[in-house]
Amino acid sequence: MIDPALSAEIIVLTIASMLALTGFAALLMGLRTMLARDYQQTLRKLSLHSAQLSQKGLGDIAIAPALDATARLVEAVSQLVRTAVGIGVFLCFTGTAMMVAAYLMVSRLVW
């Protein structure tokens, strides 16, 4: 027959290992989110086209609404980059907290 104390230790170890693995995955996803350069190329292209459009728009009043829309689009992409970095930081903190919790669970077991 299985000792009840041993079975409780196995359950705690299983929960702690799943918590540690999930925390590690969250940490990796947070780092990937923060370090990804997915939006930077798009932001550079938008800025380049915005500058070209503004040079053309200096003499033409019909292009003014397009200039305004382009400026708002560049600002929206910039906000998207800041939001992605914020999510990455949150995931890193959450993953680290989960791994610390898993360590504390295992360290309190009596061997």
Distance CA 102, CA 17 (A): 7
User: Residue 74: helix, strand or coil by DSSP?
Assistant: helix
User: Residue 2: helix, strand or coil by DSSP?
Assistant: coil
Which tens digit of pLDDT belongs to each residue from 1-37?
566 767 888 899 999 999 999 999 999 999 998 888 7
Q: What angle do CA 8, 10, 16 make, to 5 degrees?
A: 105
Which tens digit of pLDDT belongs to each residue from 84-95?
888 999 999 999
Domain that holds residue 84: 4-107
Distance CA 72, CA 85 (A): 20
CB atoms within 10 A of CB 81: 16
Task: Answer positive or negative: Cα dihedral of 88, 93, 97, 103.
Answer: positive
